[in-house]
Structure 1
Amino acid sequence: MPEPYDLITMGRIGVDLYPLQTGVPLAEVETFGKFLGGSATNVAVAAARLGRRTAVISRTGDDPFGTYVHRALAGFGVDDRWVTPVERYPTPVTFCEIFPPDDFPLYFYRLPKAPDLEIRPDELDLDAVGTARIFWMTGTGLCAEPSRSATLTALRARDRSGVTVFDLDWRPMFWPRPAQARAAYAEALRYATVAVGNLDECEIATGEREPRACADALLAAGVELAVVKQGPKGVLAVHRDGTVAEVPPVPVEVVNGLGAGDAFGGSLCHGLLAGWELERIMRHANAAGALVASRLACSSAMPTAAEVDALLTGD
């Protein structure tokens, strides 16, 4: 039997086209850089950069950008065997505007439908999903069929074995109305052991907005560990066993805040796999996110373990 993956992620994949000029509206940008993108994909890349064996479950268009995605995944050492083409939909492209330190509007081109929402239950390798040390899924994967059914099928196959992370990943433009999201999130939370989200995402999942109330509501929904990201106030993590870690952010000069949360996620997985104490996991994840925020790109900006350690120690 093949050795289990450290991490399998399931969800968005595509191409990020980021402006090479900062502080400039998109209409005035003249040059762009092309990068591998998609939140679940970036998390797999982030964990791979930290030495973990990772894979992605997703779908692309049957087009040149799809070819690029496979080449980029291979370059980052992420297994692409479960990234398959969809003939009728193009590979998604995402643009952003960069106005440091805290304004980074995103423009998703995912119409008429993104291929990553065409993941089907009967195409899943449930043995691999079930035995992965960590399985990571996202709120976006619940927003449309057949991806919703596929995501829930994967969660049921794990049956709360190992670590199952629900990245709340609230993107309002992908949902007809918030109430639909809350119902789908409640179903997924039954199978997750870890939930991760910012205050907006936690509010969609739980109806709460105060950080500790968010964490308590997520624990009540069934998870073992609730991680509430609070932006400039840092991160709050609460475990069912009573352990609490509240860690401030690592100060850096922000270039592009997009992708910081994905670096945080990859580091979170790395720390959970290593069996670190909760506060150490949160400090490492904060530092990984800060490093990406200080860089232009997302996937190619994901830090190595040595880079995170250097930031934490001040070397």
Structure 2
Amino acid sequence: MIEVLTMGRVGVDIYPLQVGVSLRRVETFGKYLGGSPVNVAVAAARLGRSSAVITRTGADPFGLFVHDALREYGVDDRYVSAVPGLPTPVTFCEIRPPEDFPLYFYRWPKAPDLEILAGELDLEAVAGSRLLWATVTGLCQEPSRGAHWAAWRARGRRAHTVLDLDYRPMFWSDARAARVQVRRALGQVTVAVGNLDEVEVATGTRDPFEAGRLLLEAGVELAVVKRGSAGVVGMRAGETVEVAPVEVEVVNGLGAGDAFGGALCHGLLAGWPLERVLGFANAAGAIVAGRLACAPAMPTLDEIENVLGAEWPGRAQGGEW
């Protein structure tokens, strides 16, 4: 059984090796596996979970690199296929700590990961995985949108079915179009997770507690609102948990949310109390924020434990997670 099955965007991240320098002036770059749901799968695998990805690449050397990298990180690539005629996307960023990391997506004429087909899904694997993670980006175009709905129908809102609110304005005509799709999707999932910008698109408010309440009203069982330097809020029916941020010298904040996501998957599958899940995920995100890359930077269990420290109240008896 696959423990963590993610679905959606993939690409190759081309990140500067020079910090605080405009792309106009950067001279050296590193090449890394990219795409939020792919990074979440890598993060979960780094924590010992069996993980796989449903996505599509171009039939090109970058597509082959995606397969190589997934295997290197211990992520099952059997559901990754090529789309002839469409190039594997690449993404550039500028690194301007602590909070400015503009992204430049090259996904033209169309990203192959938006060509995921409902008829090619392994619905038995989708329904049988212990956790399914999808993102809002996968809803921006057909046939990907229909494939996501086919996956949700196959699961029937089985726990844990997660929607990463992951709103990227360049993939949508406007925020209203995204809001329509997100609100339809919320009734199909059990967990919604996003930052303040993303929950505002989903609910119309940036207030984390009001947004959490509205997400619960929309049908999810757990709403997680990431507040960056203000920490994170998690809400279930009758339970609200606030977790303080973990201080870190930020190098590149772009992979922090994906590390948070992989650690969130780990904690949910372990059945931990909500405060413990969120504290663990927060620490994972902070670790990656202090590193340059995304996928290669995903932390191990030991690294997260070291950040949390021996006295952290979420630690289990005897130091076992």
TM band (smaller chain)? over 0.9
Residue by residue, what CA displacement relative to the aligned partner does 1:173-217 show, whole Å, maximum 9, x if unpaired?
000122211111111111110000011111111112111000000
CA distance in 2, matches of 1:95, 1:248: 31
Residue by residue, what CA displacement relative to the aligned partner does 1:15-74 show, whole Å, maximum 9, x if unpaired?
000000000000100000000000000000000000000000000000000000000000
Q: What is aligned with 1:54?
A: 51
Q: Which one of 81, 95, 98 corresponds to residue 98 of structure 1?
A: 95
Q: Counterparts in 2 of 1:158-169, with a 5 A limit? A: 158-169=155-166
Q: What is aligned with 1:303?
A: 299
Q: Percent identity at matched positions?
A: 64
Q: Which one of 256, 267, 282 corresponds to residue 260 of structure 1?
A: 256
Q: CA deviation at 1:243?
A: 1.8
CA distance in 1, matches of 2:130, 2:294: 24
Residue by residue, what CA displacement relative to the aligned partner does 1:217-270 show, whole Å, maximum 9, x if unpaired?
000000000000111111000012x12210111001111001100000000000
Structure 1 residue ranges, 4+ long, deviating more than 2 angstroms after superposition? none
CA distance in 2, matches of 1:244, 1:186: 22
Q: Does 1:286 align with 2:317?
A: no
Q: Is the Cα contact below 8 Å between 1:208 and 1:217 reproduced in 2?
A: no
Q: What is aligned with 1:313?
A: 309
Q: What is aligned with 1:235?
A: 232
Q: What is aligned with 1:152?
A: 149
Q: Which one of 249, 266, 274 corresponds to residue 270 of structure 1?
A: 266
CA distance in 2, matches of 1:149, 1:206: 23
Q: Is the Cα contact below 8 Å between 1:164 and 1:193 reproduced in 2?
A: yes
Q: Which one of 3, 8, 15 corresponds to residue 6 of structure 1?
A: 3
Q: Which one of 151, 171, 189 corresponds to residue 168 of structure 2?
A: 171
CA distance in 2, matches of 1:222, 1:77: 33
Q: What is aligned with 2:82?
A: 85
State the number of aligned residues: 311
Q: Which one of 131, 150, 158 corresponds to residue 134 of structure 1?
A: 131
1:216 partner SS: helix
2:254 partner SS: coil
1:28 partner SS: coil
CA distance in 1, matches of 2:289, 2:43: 13
2:253 partner SS: coil
CA distance in 1, matches of 2:226, 2:247: 15
CA distance in 1, matches of 2:284, 2:88: 28
2:77 partner SS: strand
2:180 partner SS: helix
Q: What is aligned with 1:206?
A: 203
Q: Does 1:217 align with 2:206?
A: no
Q: What is aligned with 1:23?
A: 20
Q: Is the Cα contact below 8 Å between 1:132 and 1:162 reproduced in 2?
A: no
1:289 partner SS: helix
Q: Which one of 97, 116, 121 corresponds to residue 118 of structure 2?
A: 121
Q: TM-score normalised to the size of structure 2?
A: 0.96
1:135 partner SS: strand
1:52 partner SS: coil
Q: CA deviation at 1:162?
A: 2.3
C-alpha RMSD over aligned residues: 0.9
Letter in 2 for 1:84: S
Structure 2: state its 5+ residue gaps: 312-321
Q: TM-score normalised to the size of structure 1?
A: 0.98
CA distance in 2, matches of 1:94, 1:314: 39
